[in-house]
Amino acid sequence: MSNYSIKNLEEYFQLYRKSVREPENFWEEIAEEHFFWRKRWTNVMQWDFSKPEVKWFEGAKLNITENCLDRHLPARGDKTAIIFEPNDPGEEAQHISYNELHARVCQFANVLKSQGVSKGDRVCIYLPMIPELAIAVLACARIGAIHSVVFAGFSSQALAARINDCDCKLVITADGSFRGAKTLNLKEIVDQGLESCKGVKTVLVVKRTGGEIRMKDGRDQWIEPLLDKASEDCKAEIMDAEDPLFILYTSGSTGKPKGMVHSSAGYMVFTAYTFKNIFRYRENDIYWCTADIGWITGHSYIVYGPLANGATTVIFEGVPTYPDYGRFWEVVAKHKVNQFYTAPTAIRALAKESLDFVDKYDLSSIKVLGTVGEPINEEAWHWYNNNIGKNNSPIVDTWWQTETGGIMISPIPYVTPTIPTYATLPYIGIQPALMDEKGKEIKGNQVEGRLCIKFPWPAMARTIWGDHQRYYDTYFSAFKNMYFTGDGAMRNAVGYYRITGRVDDVIIVSGHNLGTAPIEDAINEHQSVSESAIVGYPHDIKGNALYGFVILKHGGERRDRENLKKEINEQISEHIGPIAKLDKIQFVPGLPKTRSGKIMRRILRKIAAKDTSNLGDISTLLNPEVVEAIIKDAQ
Ligand code: 7RM
């Protein structure tokens, strides 16, 4: 059906207008024509942001795995659903067809059932990026169990907190995982975590590394022998549209992680429809998203969105730097990847290294490049565009959140003209609004404000597990009748959005509002700089002053530090103005990052304020060792 794949800008605007004027008709048509329903809905949508309560396709019955698997079998049974690219390039890649994936999901689902899991039960999945991770996710969905995937880089404490918060009674894990040159003993982490999880009765263990592990009698079982005995047929549990599909935890600015709850029908419709257009997926394309399935990006755009479209999706177990900085490009060339989706942090890391790592490989298969997770700075955007896209593949800068379930603001490739650092236009059905501090909507263009969404979309999270009040407080209390994203954005003259970063990152210096992202952009354009982060710290006269943490490129380390500082400030002066110049600059070996690649500014703020006695929870940091090194050298 023509509506489903957008061909030009005119059609985009036409559909966009329809999605705003007649949202029910618009979404009903999408849902009707592209999905398999066991029973039709009685009501397209219903909403009340003051509660908040949102329902999509109420009355409908479905199972998302019938949409991701069964319905493809007649025409695409032998088509590859998943390409598994192992950590070690010497290990052979696996191609799993839709027929095989269907069979393996059913077997896995039958094993879960035999362990007493049924509809509505929560299952924790703590697995490396191996096919079993996607299979476990789909197996839960098959029987209506609610999966809670925990990224297998989280510590035992973080894992335990997530298991206990939603009361999982079964955990799926592996003996270990391969990450670059390292081998991690995942099972040991699970064992430690489970010491404080009384509700977990069963642990199913996938064999991956073959390392020595302990199996606890009566609790732990290898899954392979159970799978071997299980039937390849498993009837899909018929779910209500609003039945929860999964819980995924996201860290709040304070306090314990929030278990975002996503629905079945709305989530399916929105992730599938965005995937199709934002990655311009065409039959037989090979699509690769480098995220981990432990994050929302992996849920929506490695598993559900691609499979709902009958796509071929790559699951990559490794890291971008192993065995060398060319790994991404080696994999692109090897599997002839057409759509490549990654994070700015990965792009910046690879852009520091020699172009020989890129130029060795034939990247001509690439048609669309994507980025997600944080604002992409101009330098990284150009590096990606020039060297990976060869100025020939549109970059989709996709803005969205764990809470939104799917992509909200993004170009549509070959349709929306792109501008570096702009996420451009709202996707069809998405109604953004910029708000001022007083709670008034800022209309018109060339304006900046707090980014809200004023109308529901099908994939929005429905609640926080066990704490609906917190859901309201966090997202719906700041602006009346709006979903508040926590991000700031500007809208340029043609209505394009540029995400300027978390509004908690806005620093007011001498009465001027400064976003951290544009300052960091300016710094990063310096030829000796690889990455930087700006925070504010209290200043007697200006209110706040700026402190910059700067990582140098390899060559830059040999240069005179005082000269470098001067040049950096000149660069900022040029790009933004003298008001944005830094009062202090510290050269650092790394920045404290969460496991999903986000800079933990909270810690940098404390260091800048010389208040390091209590850094709060740093258990989600990827590189805690860097914090000490920064404190030692702080100014
Ligand atoms: C998908 C994901 C959400 C936060 C969000 C933003 C930031 C994400 C972009 C971006 C600028 C982008 N979910 N963010 N995408 N900022 N441009 N294209 O990352 O829940 O982990 O993070 O990430 O601040 O609020 S998330």
Segments forming the whole domain that contains residue 558: 510-634
The best mutation among 149, 275, 304, 372 to test binding of ligand 1, ranked by most ligand atoms within 8 Å of the C-beta, falls on 372
Banded model confidence at residue 418, pLDDT cuts 50, 70, 90: very high
**β partners of residue 249:** 259
**For position 255, what pLDDT does the model report?**
46
Cβ proximity of 81 and 312 under 8 Å: yes
> pLDDT (tens digit, 9 = 90+) per residue, 269-297?
999 999 999 999 999 999 999 999 999 99
> pLDDT (tens digit, 9 = 90+) per residue, 41-85?
999 999 999 999 999 999 999 999 999 999 999 999 999 999 999
CATH number for the domain spanning 408: value is 3.40.50.12780
Q: Which of 150-159, 323-332, 390-399 shows the lowest mean pLDDT across its residues?
A: 150-159
Nearest one of 45, 492, 522, 32 to 263, comparing CA atoms: 45
Instruction: Please indicate, yes or no, whether residues 115 and 169 belong to a single structural domain of this protein.
Output: yes
CATH number for the domain spanning 550: value is 3.30.300.30
Whole-angstrom Cα distance, residue 301 to residue 290? 10
Whole-angstrom Cα distance, residue 356 to residue 329? 11
Output the CA angle 379-408-394, nearest 5 degrees: 40
Output the CA angle 180-181-187, nearest 5 degrees: 80
- Residue 42 per-residue DSSP state: S
Which atom of ligand 1 lies nearest, measured to the CA of 501?
A: 24
- Please write down the long-range contacts of 564-571, taking CB distance under 8 Å and 24 or more positions apart: 564/526, 564/528, 567/526, 568/523, 568/526, 568/529, 571/522, 571/523, 571/525, 571/526
> pLDDT (tens digit, 9 = 90+) per residue, 187-197?
999 999 999 99
- Is residue 130 one of the residues assigned to a domain? yes
- Is residue 377 one of the residues assigned to a domain? no
Whole-angstrom Cα distance, residue 1 to residue 136? 32
Nearest one of 539, 548, 537 to 611, comparing CA atoms: 537
Banded model confidence at residue 505, pLDDT cuts 50, 70, 90: low
Whole-angstrom Cα distance, residue 269 to residue 251? 26
Give the domain-ending residue among 489, 521, 547. Answer: 489
Is the confidence at residue 176, as pLDDT, over 60? Answer: yes
Residue nearest to atom 3 of ligand 1 (CA): 401
> pLDDT (tens digit, 9 = 90+) per residue, 328-366?
999 999 999 999 999 988 998 899 899 999 999 999 999
Give me the DSSP letters along 92-154: PPEEEEHHHHHHHHHHHHHHHHHTT--TT-EEEEE--SSHHHHHHHHHHHHHTPEEEE--TTS
- Kindly give, in sequence order, each residue whose CB lies less than 8 Å from that of residue 282, ignoring residues fewer than 6 positions away: none
Mean pLDDT, rounded, of the chain: 94
For ligand 1, say whether the CB of 455 is within 6 Å of any of its atoms. no
Is the confidence at residue 267, as pLDDT, over 70? Answer: yes
**β partners of residue 507:** 514
Is the confidence at residue 504, as pLDDT, over 80? Answer: no
DSSP E strands, 255-353: 258-263, 286-289, 312-316, 339-342
The best mutation among 154, 374, 430 to test binding of ligand 1, ranked by most ligand atoms within 8 Å of the C-beta, falls on 374
Instruction: Please indicate, yes or no, whether residues 458 and 530 belong to a single structural domain of this protein.
Output: no
**For position 554, what pLDDT does the model report?**
81
**For position 512, what pLDDT does the model report?**
67
Token pair belonging to 280: 């311009």
- Is residue 348 one of the residues assigned to a domain? no
| E strand or H helix that includes residue 610 | none
SS3 545: strand
For ligand 1, say whether the CB of 342 is within 6 Å of any of its atoms. no
Instruction: Please indicate, yes or no, whether residues 458 and 558 belong to a single structural domain of this protein.
Output: no
Instruction: Please indicate, yes or no, whether residues 27 and 133 belong to a single structural domain of this protein.
Output: yes
Token pair belonging to 508: 């007011």
Token pair belonging to 87: 């950590």
- Is residue 580 one of the residues assigned to a domain? yes
Which atom of ligand 1 lies nearest, measured to the CA of 250?
A: 20
Which atom of ligand 1 lies nearest, measured to the CA of 297?
A: 1
Q: Which of 244-258, 391-405, 467-481, 541-555 shows the lowest mean pLDDT across its residues?
A: 244-258
Residue type (1 letter), 145 = A
Higher local confidence (pLDDT), 15 or 521:
15
- Is residue 382 one of the residues assigned to a domain? no
> What is the average per-residue pLDDT within 476-504?
92
Is the confidence at residue 444, as pLDDT, over 60? Answer: yes
Residue nearest to atom 26 of ligand 1 (CA): 401
CB atoms under 10 Å from CB of 437, counted, come to: 9
Q: Which of 276-285, 328-337, 574-583, 602-611 shows the lowest mean pLDDT across its residues?
A: 574-583
- Is residue 576 one of the residues assigned to a domain? yes
Q: Which of 339-343, 438-442, 622-626 shows the lowest mean pLDDT across its residues?
A: 622-626
Whole-angstrom Cα distance, residue 331 to residue 336? 8
Share of the chain above pLDDT 70, in %: 97
**For position 548, what pLDDT does the model report?**
97
The best mutation among 250, 401, 425, 450 to test binding of ligand 1, ranked by most ligand atoms within 8 Å of the C-beta, falls on 401
Residue type (1 letter), 14 = Q
Q: Region of 492 please: left (phi>0), alpha (psi -120 to 50) or beta.
A: beta
Give the domain-ending residue among 455, 489, 523. Answer: 489
Beta strands 80-85 and 94-97: pairing type?
A: antiparallel
Whole-angstrom Cα distance, residue 479 to residue 502? 16
Beta strands 497-502 and 483-491: pairing type?
A: antiparallel
Instruction: Please indicate, yes or no, whether residues 18 and 125 belong to a single structural domain of this protein.
Output: yes
Token pair belonging to 8: 């030009």
Whole-angstrom Cα distance, residue 412 to residue 426? 10
Only one residue has tokens 């590859």, namely 80
Instruction: Please indicate, yes or no, whether residues 471 and 549 belong to a single structural domain of this protein.
Output: no
Banded model confidence at residue 513, pLDDT cuts 50, 70, 90: low
Q: Tell me the CA–centroid distance for residue 372 and ligand 1, in Å.
A: 6
Instruction: Please indicate, yes or no, whether residues 482 and 515 belong to a single structural domain of this protein.
Output: no
Instruction: Please indicate, yes or no, whether residues 107 and 176 belong to a single structural domain of this protein.
Output: yes
Per-residue buried b or exposed e for 275-306, using 16+ beta carbons within 10 Å of the residue's own CB: bbbbbbbeeebbbbbbbbbbbbbbbbbbbbbb
Cβ proximity of 203 and 171 under 8 Å: yes
* Cα distances (Å, whole numbers) of residue 24 to 29, 129, 408, 426, 456: 9, 38, 18, 18, 11
**For position 25, what pLDDT does the model report?**
98
**For position 528, what pLDDT does the model report?**
93
* Cα distances (Å, whole numbers) of residue 111 to 1, 117, 133, 228, 538: 38, 9, 15, 10, 57
Instruction: Please indicate, yes or no, whether residues 154 and 273 belong to a single structural domain of this protein.
Output: yes
For ligand 1, say whether the CB of 486 is within 6 Å of any of its atoms. yes
Whole-angstrom Cα distance, residue 429 to residue 45? 13
Beta strands 122-126 and 146-149: pairing type?
A: parallel
For ligand 1, say whether the CB of 398 is within 6 Å of any of its atoms. yes
- Residue 24 per-residue DSSP state: H
Q: Which of 112-126, 258-272, 478-492, 612-626 shows the lowest mean pLDDT across its residues?
A: 612-626
Instruction: Please indicate, yes or no, whether residues 44 and 151 belong to a single structural domain of this protein.
Output: yes
For ligand 1, say whether the CB of 400 is within 6 Å of any of its atoms. yes
**β partners of residue 529:** 552
Instruction: Please indicate, yes or no, whether residues 539 and 407 belong to a single structural domain of this protein.
Output: no
Higher local confidence (pLDDT), 264 or 349:
264
Only one residue has tokens 């978390």, namely 502
- Is residue 501 one of the residues assigned to a domain? no
C-alpha dihedral (126, 131, 135, 138), degrees to nearest 10: 90
Whole-angstrom Cα distance, residue 114 to residue 99? 23
For ligand 1, say whether the CB of 594 is within 6 Å of any of its atoms. no
Cβ proximity of 514 and 487 under 8 Å: no
Instruction: Please indicate, yes or no, whether residues 187 and 74 belong to a single structural domain of this protein.
Output: yes
Give the domain-ending residue among 440, 456, 489. Answer: 489
Q: Tell me the CA–centroid distance for residue 301 and ligand 1, in Å.
A: 14
**For position 16, what pLDDT does the model report?**
98
Domain total for the chain?
2
- Residue 404 per-residue DSSP state: T
- Is residue 328 one of the residues assigned to a domain? no
